[in-house]
Structures are given as C-alpha cells and as structure tokens.
Structure 1
Amino acid sequence: MKKIILSVAILATITTFAQQQDSVQVKEVDEIVLTASRKKESIKEIPSSVTIVGQKQIQSQLTVNSDITSILQYTVPSLATSSGQTSNTGQTLRGRQVLVLIDGIPQSTPLRNGARDLRVIDPSVIERIEVIKGASSIYGNGADGGIINYITRKNSSDKKISGISQVGISGQPYGGTLGFRASQLLSGKITKNFDYVASLAYERTGYMKDADGVNLSPTYSTAKMDNYNGMLKLGYDINDNQRIEASYIGYASKSDLNLGLVNGKYGIKPTIGEGVGNGLETTPQGTPRNHNYKLSYDNKNLWKGTALNTNLYYQDFRTVYGYSNTFLNGGQSNIVSRKGGARLNLDTQLWNAANSQAEIIYGLDVLNDKTAQKLEDGRFWTPEMSMTNIAPFALVKIDLLKKLTIKGGFRYENMKVDVSDFNTLPRIKNDGTFPNSIFVKGGKLDFNSLVGNIGVRYNINPLVNIFGSFSQSFSINELGRTLRDATESTIDRIETKPIIVNNYELGVTGQIAKWVNYEVTSYVSTSKLGYSYAQGANNAFIVQRAPEVVYGVEGFLHFTPLKWINFGGSYSWMEGVTSPKDDGDYSTKINNSRISAPKVLAYVQVRPISSLSLGLDMLHTFAQDRFEPNAKGLYVYGEGRVPEYTIFNFKSSYDVNKSWKVSLGIENVFNKLYQPAIAWWGARDADFTNSLGMRGTFMVEYKF
C-alpha cells in the first residue's frame, strides 16, 4: 500500500494536467458550492477536488448533444466516457460508482444499480452541475466514487415574468428523420415575497447512425425517443430570514424504435440495426417516469448564531429495458424504486472574529428506499427490498486568517434492509438448458458503521493553494444483483456485507499572472471488501468481493491571455488492483468496466467580434491494454483491449441582439468511425457497436 501511495505522489509531480473550464469565461475562484458541506461556501474553502459545470458551459454543450452523459464526459476529467446509449454502465467516477442527485434528491438505485441514473433530467433546467470527487457519506448510500448533483434553475429576476424559449433541430448527413427539441422556461416574482420557476421541455430524437450512415444497434438505443421534462418551483420569503420552497421535477423517456438486431462479431463487424424488430417488446424502452417532489424550509436565524435548513422529499422512478431471452420464457425487465426522506441541517457559529471563524454543521437524515427489479409479466428478478437509513452527522469547520480551512466530521450510518421471500429466475446455460429455480427465504439485514472525514486547505497566496483530505463512504451497492443470482436458500448464507471506501486526496491549485488557472490532484481509495462483477458460467454475471485499491491523478490548465480567446484542457489517469484471496497480493487488476482509459479533454474558444463565439472541443482517450486473452484467444467480459480514439466537436453562437441568439453545433465534426469504450472492454458480439457519426444541431433562442 505504501508503494502505491508513493508512486501516486511521484506521478502527481511529473505529469501535466488540464480540465475544460467554462467555454466563455474563466472559472471564478470564489465560486459558491452547495453540495460539499450541504451549505453555501466558497470553493476556496473546500479541501478536495470539485468540478463545477456552469450554466453557460451546459448550454454550449447542449448545442452539440443534449444527452447529459455526453455533456459530462466533456466536462469532468475523471468520469469515464459515455456509451452513447440509454445506459451509463461503465461511466464510473474515479473507478467507482457515483451517487446522482437532483437538488439533493437521490436518483441512483444502489440496491439494484440499473445504470439509468445519469439520464434523468433535461439539461435546459440545470443551473449548474456540482461534482464532488472521491468517496463521500454526506448524502448517504451509494457515493463510493463521489457525487454528481444537478442544481436546477432558480428565479433571478424581479420581473413578474421573464423567460427563455429554445427551439432546435438536429440531423445527420445520411438521410432519415430529423430530431427536434423545444423548451420554455418562465420565472419571476408575482409579489415581493413570492417567486416561481416553471419549465417544459420536449425532445424527439431521430435515427442514430454511425459514420458510414448505418443504423446503430437498437439495444439501449437513444434513437426515435420521446423525452419529456417538466419543472415547477414555488418559493415564498416569509421574512428576511425565513423561506419556504416547494418543487416538482418530472422526467420521462420512451422509445418507439422498431429496428431488428443484427449481431456482429467482436472486434471485426459491428452489431447494427436493420429491418423490423421482432415485436416481442410490449413496453417501450426508456424511463417512463421519474417524479421528484421536495418541500424545504430555511431559517437563517433560528436562534442566535444558528441557521436551519430542513426538507422533505419523495422520488418515484421506473425504467424499462429491452426484451431478453437469457432467462426462462424471456421477457422485459424493469426497475422500480421509490424513495422518501427527510433532512434536518443545523449550522451554528462557534465564534466569528475579524479574520477567523468556526462553525458546526449537524443534523439527521432519514431515508426509506424501496427497490425491486421485475419482469413486465409480474415475475420478480430480484426480491422486493426496503431499506431504512437513519444517520446523524456533525461537521466542524474552522477558518483561520482567511487562509487556513480545517474540516472534520463524522456520520453514523444505521441501515436496515427487509428482503422478501423470492424464487430465482432460471438463467440459460451454455448448453441451452435452464437450471431449476431456487426458493430463497428472505429476512432482515442490519448494517451500521461510523464513517468520518477530515480535510485541510491552505491558501498560501493566489499562486499556490494546497489541500488534502481523508473521507469515507458507506454503501449497500448491488444487493439486488447479488440476491438474484443466489445459490443459497437463505439470505443469511449470502455475502451481503456493505462497502466502506477510504479516500485519500492531495492537491494543489492556483492562479498564475491572472490569466492561467491550474489544479493538480492525486488520490488513493481503498476498500477492505469492494464490489466488481464479471461474466461467469452460463451467461450469468458473478459478483467479486475482495479488497481493492484504486489510485490516480488528474488536473487542468486554463488560459485566458486575451478577452477574446481562452483555451485549455484536462488529463486524468487511474489504475485499480484487487487481492482476490485477501492475502495482500494486489497483482490482480480491476477490470475495465470500472477502470477507464486515460482521457484528455482540450478546447479553444474565440470571439472575433463581441456577438460571435466559435469553439472546438477535443476528447482523446488513450489505448487501454491491461489484460491478456484466454487460451482460445478471446477476452472475457470487462477485460477487452480498448483502442485509442480522438473526437472533435464544433460549437458556435451568434447574438443577433439582446433577445435573440442562434447556435450551431456539430458533433464528431470529422465524421470519425469508432466504437465506444464499452464495445471493446465488454468483449461480447452483441455489445460491439459503433458510435454516432457526424450530427449537426441548429438552435434558436429568445430571451425576454
């Protein structure tokens, strides 16, 4: 372990890094962050690496591709690349699963991770995306690799009504249907104390084709899909110190793509869509519902020196997959998850001097998560699972002389899971037969642990700011997948222990000559009992529980030499090893489904005149060759060799006047024929697909 940590520290000192910043302006060093400590604070006070994707950057990327997984892959260095599909399988953060939130409401389904938690909102309603990198327990279950929090738009106008209207079309130069999207955002103040935000967005995608004009695989396809998003947010300022706010955010996506599947050959011929589908899918693929309700109350002065934030939330989520014949009698599966919770957050000033202050943030979280995966015909693939999580927490923050920030805290996780009795679904064997179903007696599982974090940031001067931290996460991840492949008759005999991740981080950030921003970060995360899965016998995935170490480096450089030009880029690299026998031998590598290839992001943005903006983004992933094929010359799932590729996107906008703007974006501007990383590391014929070819998007925007 010491050798691993030392190698990371050495590598951090000799590697050049970069991160894509806001495509229009330099990221302000005093930007406000909400997610890191569950309160507003300057990014200069956070002792860890945080990526903020601002509204201008989101809108700029939206011109190229409205898929949020694509926007994230171009803006977050240590996030793995997108599959270009409805599933975000393999799009890990620092080699581990990420917890996705919308305004603090959990979207992920850790009890049965269906990899549909990133595509749960339309980008048009997002004000910014806050990415907290590294293990965290601050929002509870599932944040082994970090947190992605979509912060939705709020009212910023004193007018009774103001808004943004957007209409756009997209298409490819190979014929076929065009895509269409439209969104309307309204906000304002009805009275001095009462404000609102309302939004509707609709998108209809066209066919998705590769650089040769051939239809991409219909499996997990985003083609011919209807996407809907609605938001209503109402706020009332009781007085200068108190505010109450209620919100609803709803998202749905449904595909009516009716293409036949033509399997290819791994590494040779891609799987494509051709002809007419088999008609076995009775329910459209996609996420037919994701309802989020939230009621919050803020009091800046509950009593002297103490502020209060409390909220209640509820999420109702359902996602549907395509037809599969890998289990007896076949069928379509879906994941249904309902979460209800409450958060109580208190912030008390311990002292507040001229240049120094201290505060304690403390409270209680309560969450109930009911999740199951079942077939459309009513059969359960996983049992019904109901998790209740009660977690008190406290965090002390000390700021000294406006230079030194010290944070330390703990959270006591108390999770109880009720598992129903169930029968396993027989999965097809290699010889075409099906094993017998196993009856598994359910029961109750109890998990509890005290997890903590501590961090220090020393802002020496604008040139050099040093930070270091230790943080932990506690999660019950993929319990459903473990149970659905059970070979024991009672849950007491099944390995269901939670994952505790220890994350160590060291970095330096700063500003040089007022026109260069940089950050260099190294990290190591360990877990005594990690979680990975691989292809086992009889077409089933096997769960691998063993000690793990993931380590890496990342960083960014951003240049703004003149007002009319800015450019920069980012670099990220990681490695992961495990000890399958728990004997201290970490020579076995964690497979590529979690450990992504090194990635470089680069961009340039120019304004030849004040009303015209032109930009070019580049994404380059290096080759990843970490495993050897078996005796038959074949790779197993997760271990396929991934070749390198480079993609360029063009984006532009022209301000006609203060109200009107037109934008043009071109994805894969050089029409490169390539495959996403998952097509290679998956090492399966059906998953070997091409990526999207050149596609253009034209948008018109009106502000009032």
Structure 2
Amino acid sequence: MNRKKIIYLLVLIPFFGFAQEKINEVEKVTELDDIIITASRKKESIKEVTSSVTIVGEKKIQNQSLVNSNIASILQYTVPGLATSSNQTSNYGQTLRGRPFLVMIDGIPQSTPLRNGGRDLQVIDPASIERIEVIKGATSIYGNGADGGIINYITKKNRKEKIIMGSVASSFTAQPASFDQTLGFRTSISLNGKHNRFDYVLGLTHEQTGLLKDANSVNISPTYSLANMNTYNGLIKIGYEISENQRIEASYIGYASKSFLNQDVKIGKWGVTPTIGIAAADRLGTPEGTPRNHNLRLSYSNSSIWNGTSLNVNAYSQDFRTVFYYDKIQFLNGGQSNVTSKKIGLRANFDSRLFSKENYKADLIYGIDLLQDATVQKLEDGRFWTPQMNMQNTAPFALVKFDAWNKFTLKAGARYENIKVEVDDFNTLPVLNTKTNTYTPSIFVEGGNLEYNALVWNVGVRYNVLPALNVFSSYSQSFSINEIGRILRSATTSVVSKLPTDPIIVNNYEVGLAGSPKRWFNYEVTSFWSTSKLGASSVQNTDGSYAMQRAPEYIWGYEAIINFKPLDYLSFGGAFAWIEGKVDNDNDDSYEKYINGSRIMAPKVTGNVQIQPLKNWDVELSVLHNFERDRFSSDPATNKYSFNEGPVQKYTIFNFSSSYVINKHIKTSFGVENLFNKDYSPNIAWWMARDQDYVKSPGRRVSLQLQYSF
C-alpha cells in the first residue's frame, strides 16, 4: 500500500467508526489572542511588532506533544529559522538564524553564556507552557546571549473564576517493532482556580521513556540519549490581586531529568555504519541529564504607579545543573563533566505614556536589569575543567514606541551593558589531542577580573498599509560575552587577561512583508542579514585540539510562511527557511569560507494539514523536509571532512496526530512520529563528520493518551 492510500485511510476510517451525532458540550483548546510581551517588554499586538516573531500557541504545543514531548522537536516544526533537532538531550547546533539564542521562562534566563552546555531548550515540560514566543534575529531588549533571538516559554495562567478545575492525562509511547523494550509512560496533572483575590496554577508531570531504536530496530547511540529517561516537572504559581491596579505573583518551576541507560557505545564509521548502543552490565559514570533546574520568581505589577505609568518588577533565581556522558578517552583516566550555574536577578520595567491624541500616541519603556551568574564546569570526580566564574551584569535600557492611525508603529531604543567577570586561578585539565593521540599538559592559569561595556541600539518601523499588506523593517544589535568557559578550559596562556575573550556584537537587519489578503489566508515573507566583527564558531585546529574561531562573520537568509483556512473544518500551511553564512578568516573583507554546520542549518520546509471532520474530532498531518547542505571539501589525502564541515543529507519526515472528545470530561488522543518509519540520520550526525557522532534517528514511534478534565 503506497503512502497516499495510507494517509487517506487514516483520515477516512473515523468517518465510519464514530457516530455522526454532535456533542453539545465539547472541550475546546483555543489559541490565545495575538498578544505578545517578549518583543518590547510590554503587552502588544503582533501587528505592532517591527520584526519577525513566531508564537507557538497552546493548541499547537499540545498537538506536537502527542507526537514527541521533547521541546527541541516541537520547535523544529513550528519555528522556521530554527535548526532541526538532534534527537538528543543536547541542543548543540540548533541555532536560530545561524546564531545562539537566549532561552527564558517567564523572562527568567535559562541559558548559561559563561559555559553553554547546550541544554537550555529542554529545561521545562511542555505541559506547563501556555505559549512560546520566539523573537528572531539579534536583539538587545533582554541582553546577553540573544545573538540569534529569544525563545521565551510563557507558563500557564488561570483564566477562570472557578475555585478548582483541572485535568489528568496519562499516555504511553512505544515503537511497534520493539514494543516491550521501547515502552514508555507519561502522566500529567494540572489544577487551577480562583478564590476571591487569590488565583493559582499547579502542575506535575512525570515521563519515563523506553529504549530508542532506529527504523531498523537497532539501539540508537547512548551518547546524549533520550532513552530510559526519567523526567519530572512541577509548576506552582500563586497570584494575589492587591487592588484593581496591583498584583503580586510568586512561582516555582522545577525540572529534572536522568537517564539510567545501561549501554555502551559501539563506534561506527561516518557515513557508512552508525554508532549504536550495546548492552552493558554497568555503564560507567552517574546518570546523564539535567538533575535539577529550579526557578523561583516573585513579581509585582502596578498598572498605575503614577499618572500614565505602569511598573513591573521581577526578582528571580535559577539553580541549574546538567551532567554529560562518561568519556573514557577524552579525559586522562576517564571522566564525566557537568555544568552548574546559579543565577539571581532583578528586572524592573516602567511603561510611561508620553502623550496620547486622537490618532497618535507615544510610550516610553525603560528600566534596569541586574544579574549575578556563578558558573563552573567540573568532572563528577571533582576535577575542574573550567575555573569558577562569577559574572555581574548591570544593564539600564530605554525604548520609545510611537503609534499613529492604528497603522504605523515606530520603535527606537538603547541598552547599556556593563559585565564584570571574576575568574579564579586554576590548572587546565589534560585532554586528548586527537592528532597526536597524547594528552595535553596541564598548565597553571592566573585568574583575574574581566570587564566589558557596550551601548547597543535598535530601531524598527511597521506600516500596516492594508490588511493584505503590512511592511516592517528593523535594525537591532545584540551584545554577548563569548563563551568564556570554553576558552579558559583550553588556555595556552598563563594569565586570563591575555586570553581572546573579546565579546560579540551582532548587527541585525530585517525587512519583511505580512498580511491577510483574505480572512482565510495569511502570509509572511522575511529577508534578514547579520554581521559581527568577531564571531565564534567551534573548529578543530591542525594539532587536533578544539578551539573557538574568532573572525568577522556575515549571515543572510530568507523565511516564508503561508497559512490557509478555506473551511471551518480545514486548514493547511507551511514554512520555508534558507540561511547561509561566511567567515572572513583573513580579515580582508573577502569572506572566503562558509560557516560550518554547528552554526548554519540546512534549508528546511515544514507543512501541516489540520482537519476537523466532526466538531469533537481533530486530525493533523505534519511534514518536515530537510534539504542538503554541502559547502566544504574533504581532505584529498584521507578523504575525510574537518570537524563540523561534513555534508548534510536530505530527508523527509511525516508525523500524524488525532484527538477525539468523547464528552466534556474525556478526550482520547493518538500520535505517530516518523509515520513511514524513515531510516535517516539527524543533521548533526553529518556535519560533525566524526565516527562516534554518526548516529541514526528514531524510527516509527506511537503514543496513546487519555485525558480527564473536571
């Protein structure tokens, strides 16, 4: 039976299997209004935003979670300019428009810029998320780390007047060809309500995955594996309305993941034989994953602190720890590294109305961000791979927003960054030189204080000429300290101040068109480019060591999004993203070499079809097509590619999901990932161009969920 017949059958079978009688009371999960808060640090319509944004609503998150609850996977299908997922615990290489991004939860930074562990996407369960706001392109509005943009997880809020309501959902996942080994379970409980001036949201999720196998039922490599992963997530949010204008809210979000996978690695051959997992009696090291990510937040808002001015203050803390895989070779006598980061911060945001007339108004958004971040990377046995690093970040900012005729928006703002980093004395750790097959000698490095200052700007304009034609354009800068921890751990100089730790300033330009020519049709087309005098990409030196390449960079690309809803029960659409970048190693404005795969994604197309054959039944089919990217040549002598420069191969993946509301309390859902059991490798397996990283992606995986709401 061919693919088309299978799709038709999946869509048509329920017509014959369910009664046609409509249910009067049907659970509805509706998208929120197109109001965002991340782009300008205030609530505004998407039609007032002067750059390209993507809002992933709650219904889309739920549908994608039926297929795969991994947020990195959800985002690869919903955010055009985001690189594809590696299907691993790490999101290394999953850049946004070719650059690193800043991840936040309700405005609390999750990324660890002093030593990026590549775990910042997977720090919360999707069951706790109301929507995801993605601001694409470098931006200074939130500061350090937002070179490629911002991904802000907005957690759930209570929106009802009832004292208590909620839901319980249980599901299992498995790969049909190896059901008993791949069986996993997931349970989620949520409660919310309001009593007098108090409101609350409570949530708890636990998921345990089984083994993960490729399309040929072979174990996927255990390195950074999501197999046999226990994940826990808790959300507590309590709010109190002090008065009509004032509100205070406290929240806690806790996340933990641990993999108890007793497998060893069997190294394959790049492009020929995949690296796989083989049974091991007792794998060395401690469980991998993120054993803790604690976020505490206390916020106060006043919509009229004085005439025409509102205030929002957020005090927060984060305690984050992630553990990588045990490496028998890289470290002398073996070892397993971890990254620990502890943050405390304060964000104070004022919003003042400068003037308001019949057709004109202007606002001034201003405030200050304060952050202390203590980060270190060590081995589980206590050896330091990086020294202890303590950062203090002070950043006042201001943004003027002018609106006219309900059609025209102009924004201009600035942010002043002052960052101080205190680095302890340390000894570098001996690591393997892959060229000489010897371990680098340990050297003593004298610590010290590093300080960075910068004033970054942004300006943007949007003119909604007609419903069918909205024009927007923006220029914005971002400021980020380079990943100091990675530079320090491979230091060859005995004094910290002499190391190449210069920050990264990105200039981002964007021009776009958007609109809704018809009520059932909308589109967006965007062109963007960014420059930086000193970029940073991971490369391999001629002696086999790994380093950060510091050189001028130029990145450019295009995105296109189109959606149709010709009938109440039918909608479909898609998105395309193409990104390219070059680096000027000689600093002569020639930009002679392409940026490697750890930064630049292969072009991709995503699409989806949503059908509602009955009022209480939804069906969705989604697709992702990944194109080739082949920009580098292999070494003629060895026929091998340099690290991160392997050619990426194309593949196409289909996913399917369906939900049926039995009554106002009970809903059943069904999802299939990799519907046609495609045998393929993720992009990271190709561009890393190393035998140990040439892995396969999971084969067909199904999930079945039952949800009870009250």
Q: TM-score, normalised by structure 2?
A: 0.94
Q: CA deviation at 1:119?
A: 0.5
Give % identity.
Answer: 58
SS of 1:73's equivalent in the other structure is helix
Q: Where do residues 453-492 of structure 1 align in structure 2 (5 Å cutoff)?
A: 453-492=458-497
Q: 1:92 aligns with which of 67, 90, 95?
A: 95
Alpha-carbon separation, structure 1, partners of 2:81 and 2:533:
23
1:403 counterpart residue number = 407
- Are residues 1:585 and 2:590 paired? yes
Deviations 1:59-97 (A, max 9, x none): 000100000110000100100000000000110000000
Shift of 1:174: 2.2
Q: Does 1:198 align with 2:202?
A: yes
Query: Does the Cα contact within 8 Å between 1:395 and 1:408 map onto a contact in 2?
Result: yes
Out of 284, 300, 320, the residue aligned to residue 297 of structure 1 is: 300
1:662 aligns with 2:668: yes
- State yes or no: 1:597 paired with 2:599: no
**Mapped partners of 1:277, 1:602: distance in 2:** 44
Is 1:119 the counterpart of 2:122? The answer is: yes
8 Å Cα contact 2:654-2:675 kept in structure 1: yes
**Cα distance between partner residues in 2 of 1:50 and 1:612:** 30
Partner secondary structure for residue 670 of structure 2:
strand
Give the corresponding residue for 1:308: 311
> Which of residues 556, 562, 578 in structure 2 aligns to 1:557?
562
Q: 1:35 touches 1:130 (CA, 8 Å); kept in 2?
A: yes
Contact 1:217-1:273 at 8 Å conserved across structures: yes
Structure 2 counterparts to residues 636-651 of structure 1, below 5 A: 636-651=642-657
The Cα shift of 1:633 comes to 1.0
Q: Partners of 1:372 and 1:151 in 2: how far apart?
A: 28
- Kept after mapping to 1: 8 A contact 2:246/2:301: yes
Partner residue of 1:133? 136
- Partner secondary structure for residue 692 of structure 1: coil
Unaligned runs of 5+ in 1: 1-23
User: What is residue 512 of structure 1 aligned with on the other side?
Assistant: 517
Corresponding residue number in structure 1 for 2:62: 59
Task: Give, in whole Å, the separation in 2 of the partners of 1:329 and 1:498.
Answer: 35
Instruction: Please say if 1:42 is aligned against 2:45.
Output: yes
Q: CA deviation at 1:512?
A: 1.5
Instruction: Find the counterpart in structure 2 of residue 3 from structure 1.
Output: none
d(CA) in 2 for partners of 1:397, 1:74: 32
Aligned-pair CA distance for 1:535: 2.1
Structure 2 counterpart of 1:350, which letter? Answer: L
Given the alignment of the two structures, is residue 216 of structure 1 paired with residue 216 of structure 2, yes or no?
Answer: no
Residue 164 (structure 2) pairs with residue 167 (structure 1): no
Which of residues 686, 697, 708 is equivalent to 1:702?
708
Q: Given residue 465 of structure 2, which amino acid in structure 1 is its aligned partner?
A: I
Cα distance, 1:599–1:277 mapped onto 2, change above 3 Å: farther
Aligned to 2:186: 181
Offset at 1:539? 4.4
- SS of 1:52's equivalent? strand
Q: 2:549 aligns with which of 540, 544, 547?
A: 544
Question: Is this contact kept in 1: 2:305–2:311, CA < 8 A?
Answer: yes
Matches of residues 194-343 of structure 1 in structure 2 within 5 Å? 194-276=198-280, 279-281=283-285, 283-324=286-327, 325-343=329-347
Q: How many Å apart are 1:615 and its aligned residue?
A: 1.3
Q: Which runs of 4+ in 1 moved over 4 A?
A: 24-28
Which moved further from structure 2: 529-538 or 285-294? 529-538
Paired AA for residue 576 in structure 1: G
Whether the aligned pair in 1 keeps the contact of 2:584 and 2:590 (CA below 8 Å) is yes
Matched AA of 2:667:
K
- Asked if the contact 1:113/1:477 (under 8 Å) is kept, the reply is no
Which whole-Å deviations, capped at 9, do the CAs of 1:119-175 have from their partners, x for residues lacking one? 000000100000000001211210000000000001011111010211100000122
Cα drift, residue 177 of structure 1 = 3.8
Q: Does structure 1 retain, via aligned residues, the 8 Å contact 2:31–2:59?
A: no
- Among residues 330, 347, 352, which one is paired with 2:351 in the alignment? 347
Secondary structure, counterpart of 2:667 in structure 1: strand
Following superposition, the deviation at residue 320 of structure 1 comes to 0.3
| SS state at 1:624 partner | coil
CA–CA distance in structure 2, aligned partners of residues 125 and 624 of structure 1: 36
Residue 551 of structure 1 deviates from its aligned partner by: 0.4
Q: Which residue of structure 2 lines up, in the alignment, with residue 690 of structure 1?
A: 696
Distance 1:423 1:507 in 2: 50
CA distance in 1, matches of 2:511, 2:29: 27
1:63 partner SS: helix
Q: Does the CA-based 8 Å contact 1:261-1:277 persist in structure 2? A: no
Q: Could you tell me how far apart the structure 2 residues matched to 1:109 and 1:513 are?
A: 44
Give the partner amino acid of 2:68.
N
Separation in 2 of the partners of 1:537 and 1:255?
35
Structure 1 residues 359 and 277: alpha-carbon distance in aligned structure 2, compared to 1, 3 A threshold: farther
Which of 681, 686, 709 is the matching residue for 1:680? 686
Deviations 1:317-340 (A, max 9, x none): 000011112122221100000010
Separation (CA, whole Å) in 2 of partners of 1:25 and 1:381: 47
Deviation at 1:37, TM superposition (A): 0.8
Contact 1:621-1:646 at 8 Å conserved across structures: yes
Give the 3 Å change call, closer, same or farther, for CA 299–660 of structure 1 in structure 2.
same
Letter in 2 for 1:609: L
Alpha-carbon distance between aligned partners in 1 of 2:491 and 2:62, rounded to the nearest angstrom: 46
Shift of 1:607: 1.1
Partners in 1 of 2:616 and 2:438 — Cα distance?
66
2:390 maps to 1:386: yes
Q: Name the counterpart of 2:379.
A: 375
Any conservation in 2 of the 1:428–1:538 contact (CA below 8 Å)? Answer: no
C-alpha distance in structure 2 between counterparts of 1:276 and 1:374, whole Å: 26
Q: Secondary structure at the match of 1:111?
A: coil
Q: Hey, what's the Cα distance between the residues in 2 that align with 1:96 and 1:147?
A: 11
Gaps of at least 5 residues in structure 2 are 1-27
* Aligned residue identity for 1:195: D
- Is 2:665 the partner of 1:633? no
For each residue in 1:597-652, what CA deviation from the matched residue of structure 2 results, as whole angstroms up to 9, or x when unmatched?
A: 00000111111111111111000011111111112211111110111000000110
Aligned counterpart, 1:624: 629
> Which of 443, 447, 465 is 2:452 aligned to?
447
Q: Report the Cα distance in structure 1 between the residues aligned to 2:348 and 2:29, rounded to whole angstroms.
A: 36
Partners of 2:482 and 2:449 lie apart in 1 by 16
Equivalent in the alignment of 2:11: none
Question: 1: distance between equivalents of 2:389 and 2:557?
Answer: 35
State the 1:540 CA deviation.
2.7
Please tell me the residue identity of whatever aligns with 1:143: A
Distance in 2 between the 1:415 and 1:162 partners? Answer: 45
Q: Is the 8 A contact 1:639 1:682 kept in 2?
A: yes
Q: Deviations over 1:333-376 (max 9, x none)?
A: 00000010001110100111222210100011100111110011
The residue aligned with 2:21 is none
Report the 3-state secondary structure (helix = DSSP H, G, I; strand = E; otherwise coil) of the residue aligned with 2:485.
helix
Q: For 1:461-495, what per-residue CA distance to the aligned partner results, in whole angstroms no more than 9, with x for missing partners?
A: 10000000000100013110011100000012110
Deviation at 1:435, TM superposition (A): 2.8
- Show the counterpart of 2:528: 523
Contact 1:655 1:661 in 2 (8 A): yes
Match of 1:4 in 2: none
Distance 2:438 2:399 in 1: 56
Change (3 A) 1:160 1:26: closer
Residue 502 of structure 1 corresponds to 507
More displaced 10-residue stretch of structure 1: 171-180 or 660-669: 171-180
Q: Structure 1 residues 26, 551: CA separation in 2 closer, same or farther (over 3 Å shift)?
A: farther
